[in-house]
Structure 1
Amino acid sequence: MAKQSKISCCFLVFVLVNLIFCNGVLSVRAENEFISAVGDSGMRRDNLRVAIESWNQCNEVGEEALQTGSPRAADCFDIYKATPQPQGEVCFCNQQLPYVLVHRVTEQDNKLRMGEPFFGLQAESQFNVDLYAAEKELYLGFKCQVEDTPNPWQFWMIMLKSGNMDTYAAKCPKNGHRVGPFPDQNSFPCFGKGCMNQPSIYHDYTKLQLPDMILKGRFFGSWDLEADLSRGMVGNISYHSVTWEKKLGEGSWVFHHVLRTSAKYPWLMLYLRSDATHGFSGGYHYPTRGMSKIIPESPNFKVRFTLNVIKGGGPSSQFYLMDMGSCWKNNGKPCDGNVTSDVTRYSEMIINPNTTSWCHANNLNVCPPYHTFPNGTRVHRNDTARFPYAAYHLYCSPGNGEHLEAPFNLCDPYSNPQPQEILQILPHPVWGEYGYPKKQGEGWIGDPRTWELDVGRLSQSLYFYQDPGTPPARRQWMSIDLGTEIFKDPDQVAEWTVSDFDILVPKQ
């Protein structure tokens, strides 16, 4: 269907068109030497592209929620200026609306559930709940895609995850290997059968609100599937909500996040991600869609955004100022989808002042083997005089590492579809040169800031495991995100806003 630049006002109220958007938007240059790696540079594009996904503990679907269908949905639209009605013609429509929003994804698309066909669905995926969700994401990406240089892009991604795990259900592999039922040792919350359910996801499609010319939409829901959300966050229920808002033609979108845990769902996560537009993304072993049309690579990229933390989520809220995810094998080669040899790599800066360092001179198993200072000086963790223990919350090693330096602490083998390696850092002077907070409390509640983080240089300096004698992996970060993980703490509420998000890479 040909792209329409003008639409008769008679269709203003009714149009919800199922189109593929092909109008390219060129990269926005940041300063002289950098360009944007994301399609919607600085979140300033009126024609929003945003999607939502939900994972269980091992980053799969497992079982669909009746209210939601397959837990992938999108809100993608384009705005057109209305055509004045020629004199002498009659228009039975609202003459007050100067613009029309053309939504690319219908409610029927968003409600698709396993077994229902859609364009491009592979036969082997139609009745597999995990594969169906992965292909639904590709389908939504197809409908939202924007052609651009050097690559097309699809949407910002809102990610939900629950840490509940039923160990007797045997749904999650151990370091990529299938295992049978086993008794839990209080590692994972679970109230019994069905505790790994997906949440409800409700959708208020983006609308233009007059007379203020405000664009506004929302995804929201609960893991407590019987909850009456018409009354808001009342009672002991879990809750998630992301609202996006922008004045037409001005400034950045503001994404307003709310996450609440409950007694049944005490371990919940909510992030806003810029994922790769093709290939894998962090923690996801299926083809993905996203916003990063250029994959940022260490050491040459920066991340800029504005963050306002309103409520912190309690003492166990691991609020990530910056969370980056990648994947490479222990021999340094890129991941290829083999979940027994691929390794998800994460690095996260936690800014909740309640989160303290577990890394100490007498607790070396949760410290990385060495720290590299900005000038290249490398200090081993045994050097008690110079190693910055307080800069690290936790380091854990991949479960398939064959040459780990003792003492070591293995990462949770169940919360990813494949082995994982995690390095969590805390505000500390050693990170100041990269633009990160230098002390606890910076950027926390009451201290909203616009950050420009030299994530590329910092991520290049961090320790990640590789087998001895193998060439260094290319550190390409397919997922860049921020948000919180409330860790096994019921009845806590986190609330924050994000705007102006951008990833800057060197101009080629």
Structure 2
Amino acid sequence: MKQLAPILAVVNLLFLVHGYDVSSSSAVGDPGMKRDGLRVAFEAWNFCNEVGLEAPHMGSPRAADCFDVSTKCSKTHRKKLSNCTSGYSLVHKVSDSDNKLGIGKRKSGIISEPALQNPDLYAVEKELYLGSLCQVSDKPNPWSFWMVMLKNGNYDTKSGLCPQNGKKIPPFNQQGKFPCFDTGCMNQPVLNHGKTELLGDGYTMRGWFNGTYELEADLGDGFDGISYYEVVWEKKVGGGGWVFKHKLKTSPKYPWLMLYLRADATRGFSGGYHYDTRGMLKTLPESPNFKVRLTLDIKQGGGPKSQFYLLDIGSCWKNNGEPCDGDVTTDVTRYSEMIINPKTSVWCNPETLQNCPPYHTFRNGTRVHRTENRRFPYGAYHIYCAPGNAEQLELPVGTCDAFSNPQAQEILQLLPHPVWGEFGYPTRMGDGWVGDPRTWELDVGALSSSLYFYQDPGTTPARRIWTSVDVGTEIFIDQGIAEWHLSDFDVLIT
């Protein structure tokens, strides 16, 4: 063994020099988005991560596009296959009728009686069903799909649809804090789906989701004055990887929209939810032992209030450190988000300590309090907000929006800064922005391990297990157009 150890060290060094990390494995079912047979799904949410009300004729706002690539192209297959050219064909797993399932539509053994007239429950059960159709067997766990998530930031406080820090409250008058043009402003969008097909060259595969929140709009008339979202995915059979091309446009009626591509938990709660979900993470990454690789090419930024997240990670644990169990009155969603829009202002400074986390911990373990003006890196933070159900917060403090998640939430928004450079994150405002496409390798596990998150004093520190890893933008009460391409997405357990 003494003789073998130096040999293994040299072999490991050679692997590392040539770009192979022998000590890591992918947490996602489709490492780097290289798999020909794609699995991708769509979900849309209202302000509090529920459905509330389905859009007319759209069904429940869940859909999936899942297929395998076959080299069989006989006459008997052609009715089920999208194309039969160049020897390749696509065998789809999800039918149009599956994607159109919605309130009132029965599916024996799939949709329960309580869900038939409850849009929130129906969406949950439909997602599980779509996940079963798309599921791929794998070790240590099966997986289902990448998730396109779209969210409407309008909130009608008179609707009574959203709880406050997980507790049901009656309707209350609009206070001007949230956008809402009138009754119905929390509607779900039109969803159009171009099922993935082989193009004329016989090798290029392409599919898409798109739509608008303006339910009466005709997209054929253009996008002036209306909201719009689009995700197009494209890849050549047998080579390269999938490129996901995103567009998001807000409008006067819908000025606050979010669009992300997510790798979610394959079982249990994904970030921001309180029920069983399906996703791409066959292994859940835990701090400090994981990294994220991705290639991001931002074409348009979305305006000064586009909080573009190079990466957003989400999880859930209680203030006493225990894992979440579905009790929304005590569960807390935790988010860490790196904003790379260079027009984003720094809200954390010595005069606004309520916008700063109480402590910053450097990678070497040194911890500094936010009152230490000469040492605390104020410019590294856009804002910190604490969970609204925490009972022993250090003052001054700002609490997070109490309505936009099913339970209380805690958010830590970061900005490019030299202190994050050791983790592979951008160090200067403008890094990776429009005109500067980059492939990133981010030591997310190490960074997330050092970040401040509230916990009740004297309790055992929570295990920081992340159930969602996503990329995208949140255009916050503004009118803008964002466009970006994402590829090579992978989560590596180190």
**Band the TM-score falls in, shorter-chain normalisation:** over 0.9
CA distance in 2, matches of 1:44, 1:97: 20
CA distance in 2, matches of 1:245, 1:48: 10
Q: Do structure 1's residue 386 and structure 2's residue 372 form an aligned pair?
A: no
* Contact 2:385 2:399 (C-alpha < 8 Å) held by counterparts: yes
Gaps of 5+ in 2: 1-18, 76-81
CA 84–191 in structure 1, closer or farther in 2 if over 3 Å, else same: closer
| SS in structure 2 at match of 1:200 | coil
Equivalent in the alignment of 2:350: 361
Equivalent in the alignment of 1:452: 441
Letter of the 2:111 counterpart? L
CA distance in 1, matches of 2:483, 2:425: 21
Q: Do structure 1's residue 239 and structure 2's residue 239 form an aligned pair?
A: no
CA distance in 2, matches of 1:425, 1:72: 31
Q: Which moved more, 1:125-134 or 1:385-394?
A: 125-134
CA 400–443 in structure 1, closer or farther in 2 if over 3 Å, else same: same
Q: What aligned pairs does 1:51-62 form with structure 2 within 5 A after superposition?
A: 51-62=41-52
Equivalent in the alignment of 2:10: none
Equivalent in the alignment of 1:502: 490
The CA deviation at 1:356 is 1.5
Equivalent in the alignment of 1:285: 274
The CA deviation at 1:389 is 0.4
| SS in structure 1 at match of 2:32 | helix
Q: Could you list the runs of 4 or more consecutive aligned residues of structure 1 that deviate by over 4 angstroms after TM superposition?
A: 93-97
CA distance in 2, matches of 1:84, 1:382: 72
Q: Do structure 1's residue 424 and structure 2's residue 424 form an aligned pair?
A: no
Equivalent in the alignment of 1:226: 216
The CA deviation at 1:120 is 2.3
Equivalent in the alignment of 1:164: 154
| SS in structure 1 at match of 2:419 | helix
**What is the identity percentage for the equivalent residue pairs of Structure 1 and Structure 2?**
63
Equivalent in the alignment of 1:40: 30
CA 462–50 in structure 1, closer or farther in 2 if over 3 Å, else same: same
With structure 2 as the length reference, what TM-score do the two structures score?
Answer: 0.93
Q: Which moved more, 1:142-151 or 1:204-213?
A: 204-213
* Contact 1:72 1:133 (C-alpha < 8 Å) held by counterparts: yes
Equivalent in the alignment of 1:69: 59
| SS in structure 2 at match of 1:459 | helix
With structure 1 as the length reference, what TM-score do the two structures score?
Answer: 0.91
Q: Do structure 1's residue 145 and structure 2's residue 135 form an aligned pair?
A: yes
The CA deviation at 1:183 is 1.7
Q: Do structure 1's residue 347 and structure 2's residue 336 form an aligned pair?
A: yes
CA distance in 2, matches of 1:95, 1:197: 40
Q: Do structure 1's residue 411 and structure 2's residue 409 form an aligned pair?
A: no
Equivalent in the alignment of 2:309: 320
Q: Do structure 1's residue 397 and structure 2's residue 386 form an aligned pair?
A: yes
CA distance in 2, matches of 1:32, 1:342: 37
Q: What is the CA RMSD across the aligned residues, in angstroms? A: 1.5
Q: What aligned pairs does 1:18-37 form with structure 2 within 5 A after superposition?
A: 31-37=21-27
The CA deviation at 1:128 is 1.1
| SS in structure 2 at match of 1:349 | strand
CA 397–218 in structure 1, closer or farther in 2 if over 3 Å, else same: same
Q: Which moved more, 1:302-311 or 1:223-232?
A: 223-232
Post-superposition Cα deviations, 1:251-283, rounded to whole Å, max 9, x if no partner, equal 110000000000000000000000000000000
Q: Do structure 1's residue 190 and structure 2's residue 151 form an aligned pair?
A: no
Equivalent in the alignment of 2:481: 493
CA distance in 1, matches of 2:458, 2:301: 43
Q: Do structure 1's residue 126 and structure 2's residue 109 form an aligned pair?
A: no
Gaps of 5+ in 1: 1-28, 86-92
Counterpart among 100, 112, 129 of residue 111 in structure 1: 100
Post-superposition Cα deviations, 1:443-473, rounded to whole Å, max 9, x if no partner, equal 0000000000000000000000000000000
* Contact 1:30 1:36 (C-alpha < 8 Å) held by counterparts: no
Post-superposition Cα deviations, 1:35-84, rounded to whole Å, max 9, x if no partner, equal 10000000000000000000000000000001321000000001110257
Letter of the 1:502 counterpart? D
Q: Do structure 1's residue 474 and structure 2's residue 463 form an aligned pair?
A: yes
* Contact 1:368 1:395 (C-alpha < 8 Å) held by counterparts: yes
| SS in structure 2 at match of 1:130 | helix
